[in-house]
Amino acid sequence: MHKLMLTTQEIMNLTHCSRAKVEKAGREAKAEVVVGAYRRWNWDRLVEYYGGTSMESREIMLSTQELMQVLGCGRRNAEKIGKLANAQFVCGSYKRWSMDKIRQFVYREAN
């Protein structure tokens, strides 16, 4: 199976977390891989460590505020839907939500 290895900047873009938070989370998850002068992070290990499920590809991650706008509801309902969809990813003290998992959940519930 192919492992998705991302740079610190790519993870910062996906999760909207600072460099320090990404590096701290990566070390806690034991996801850091250093080859020479290059540092990469095992995305699947990061996600699994922080309570998500393994992902085969990169996903768009939304903040709670963005999730509220996408779903057109308040914070409580947005977080409830996100948790039901198993879309929550925690980076430090920040919650991010997988847009793909939210979309799949909403389509599944609508049908």
Mean pLDDT, range 54-77, rounded to an integer: 78
CB-count burial class (<10 Å; 0-12, 13-18, 19+) for 62: buried
Placement of tokens 């499920």 in the chain:
53
pTM listed for this prediction: 0.54
Structure confidence at residue 19 as a pLDDT band (50, 70, 90): confident
Whose CA is closest to 24, among 90, 86, 83?
90
Model pLDDT for residues 84-95, shown as the tens digit of each residue: 999 888 766 778
The encoded tokens of residue 9 equal 């900047």
